[in-house]
Every structure is written in C-alpha cells, then in structure tokens.
Amino acid sequence: MNVDSIQNGFVIDHIRAGYGMRLYELLGLDDRDVSIAIIKNVQSKKLGKKDIIKIDADIPVDLDVIGYVDPDATINIIKDGKLVEKRVIGMPEKLVNVIKCKNPRCITSTEQELDHIFKLTDKNNKVYRCAYCETKASK
Ligand code: ZN
C-alpha cells in the first residue's frame, strides 16, 4: 500500500501521539480486511508529535469513537484520489457501544442485550459516565 495515494478512504490526522493504536482497536479496524496504515510519532508543528491512521477503503467509520479518543483529531475523506472533506471531530455527547462499563454491578454486565451508553457529563475534563449507573469511564 502506498500510504500517500489513497483513492477512496480516510486519513485520520492530528491524533495525539500514543492514541493511534487505541483508536485502531476501538474502531475495530483489526477485524477489517482492508489496507490500513498507522503512522506513529510523526513530527507536527501543532502537536509536536502525532499519530496518523490511513484507511484505503470506503468503510463505515464511527466518528464518535474518534471524537472520544481525541476530539482534536481531524478526518480527511478522500474520494477518487481527491480530498473531498476535512473536519475536526469534536467531543460526542453520547457514546453507544464504544466502551463498556467497568462496574460489575451495572445492569449492562448482566443484561447482555443492552446497549452500552455513556454520556458526556463534564466537557472541560472530558468525563463520560455510564448512562445506567453513572460510573466514570476510564480510557
Ligand atoms: Zn454502568
């Protein structure tokens, strides 16, 4: 894969250094049979160092997951070799089935069919809490 010549896909850019792999995991990219490149510790004027993920395939990508891991990350959408859209993700208000509640007494640990829902309760400190038991999410 030539990482510079994506035809149809995405470049997730400006990921804080060290968060690329976590994002890769949470996006479920490991299970995808497509060309993906993770570039770590790229020099960046803005961030010092950053991670970049390039996905050379037009697959659905959950923007909420990206916003959760790093709200300052940007996504570049590439179609037919051209950049068609570039945007900053921002912090999602709600996360559905992105992370799981760690509280063993939470209803989501016994009721398997329930969605795992977390809500942004403190924007300044990026705190998400379980919608059922209010346990704080840990990254
Ligand atoms: Zn919970």
CA–centroid distance, residue 90 to ligand 1 (Å): 24
CA–centroid distance, residue 26 to ligand 1 (Å): 18
Tokens of 79: 């179609």
Instruction: State residue 138's pLDDT score.
Output: 79
Q: CATH 3.30.70.140 in the chain: give the residue spans.
A: 9-88
CA–centroid distance, residue 28 to ligand 1 (Å): 22
CA–centroid distance, residue 108 to ligand 1 (Å): 6
| pLDDT classification of 46: cutoffs 50, 70, 90 | confident
Percent share of the chain, pLDDT over 70: 96
In the CATH scheme, what is the code of domain 9-88? Answer: 3.30.70.140
pLDDT per residue over 78-129, tens digit each?
A: 999 999 999 999 999 999 999 999 999 999 999 989 999 999 999 999 999 9
| 3-state SS, one letter per residue, for 112-138 | CCCCCEEEEEECCCCEEEECCCCCECC
